[in-house]
Amino acid sequence: MNHTLITFLGKGFKGAGGYRTATYRFDDGNTYTTAYFGLALLKQLAATGAPVDHLVILGTAASIWDALLLEEMGDGELWTELSAQVEAGTVDDAILERVAGDVTTGLIAAGLARRVSPRVIPYGRDNREQIAVLQKTADLVEQGDRVSMDISHGFRTLPMLGLMSALFLKSIKQVHIMGVYYGALEMTGAATTPVVRLDGLLRVADWLTAISAFRASGDYGLFAPLIDDQDDVATSLRQAGFFEKTLNIGQARKQLKNAACHFSALAKCDPVFELFSEELYSFTEWAGANLFAQRQLAAAHNALATGDYLRSAALTVEAYVSHHLPQGADPADYSAREHAKTFLAHSPAYQELKDLRNALAHGTRANRNTYNQQTTLASRQALEERLAQLLEQIRTHIS
């Protein structure tokens, strides 16, 4: 699996002594002095046991290609030609292809990279140009690559495009983002410039995606990969998702309560988890309901919210049965539940729910139309409204 470093190249300002340099300081104390942070990052990754296989350099037709390549090529004839194009803002892929070989040779000799792909990208002035940047980035990365990203240089819009590229690559190319780095030139102190890691922003995006997916599916297992370093919690969330899908609400509750008891500790040590902990609590609070029927009804409500009509109807039926069990009976006892169903045989709400559940399960019309079930099943709006009404009707009995 290749390790690809994607770095953006800005325009920069050239004075009498050339482009401004900075001494970039990483968290481990390593420092590198250069006019271009991407080179500092390249050396740092090699020094920390993660050498780069493929260096992707993206810049506009007026980016400081000559400053970058001066460090690797020297100021020969080809560099002079490149520098003139930088001044004119006319750099293209053709001249970059000519210099890429020399740069690659130098980086291989230094043990920093095995392949270099310098490419011109548009300025990102409109949506079409911004999408072109994302597409070019994707074209230069292989499926499943490990990717590090430098978003230090370029227009103010490029860091946002860089982060969007990282999200795009994670989704489309299934890459593993190893780090997002920013050489914070504006934070330069007396001697060094700090390097800021922005990986946490990608974790925020992962949580937002998981929450959106949960609202569509109701699967608690979607949150497990976000806390895989907490094996017990991740396993409990996956199990809770499984048990709720199989209507085993008792076991789903047990797994959610096991996971939830760790949320407070996780929030204290993980700021990203803390940011979303309140939302996660809201998704799992039904597990704290006292009565078994209340928990089934809460799960039915969640299923309805995600458009899982069959599961919602089935859970509502079972909640009604649980509510009519003899006092002290085990909610999982088959005989007790059958006795309760006999008692409910003449309940209009129960019979209507059973007909709806059966029709949804078998993909057929309701056996009868005593309660306008066929009309209810004729449209999404009608079905959602009627299930919500039946849920509320039963909830008033159970509360």
Q: Find the mean pLDDT for residues 163-174.
A: 89
Question: In which band, very low, low, confident or very high, does the pLDDT at 2 lie, cut at 50, 70 and 90?
Answer: very high
Name the band, by pLDDT with cuts 50, 70 and 90, for residue 366.
low
Q: Could you read off the pLDDT of 94-132 as tens digits, one per residue?
A: 999 988 887 888 888 888 899 999 999 998 889 999 999
What pLDDT does residue 96 have? 92
Cα–Cα distance measured from residue 289 to residue 35, given in angstroms and rounded to the nearest whole number: 61
Domain ranges of the chain: 3-197, 206-288, 292-398
Instruction: Over range 351-370, report the average pLDDT.
Output: 82
Mean pLDDT (the chain, rounded): 89
Enumerate the H helices of the chain as residue ranges. Answer: 37-47, 65-73, 77-88, 93-109, 127-139, 157-172, 199-217, 231-245, 249-260, 263-269, 271-284, 292-305, 309-323, 334-343, 348-362, 373-376, 380-398
pLDDT, residue 269, reads 92
pTM, whole model, 2 decimals?
A: 0.81
Which CATH architecture does the domain made up of 3-197 adopt? 3-Layer(aba) Sandwich (3.40)
Per-residue pLDDT at 214: 93
Tell me the torsion sign for CA atoms 182, 150, 202, 216: positive
Phi and psi at residue 197, in whole multiples of 5°? -95, 130
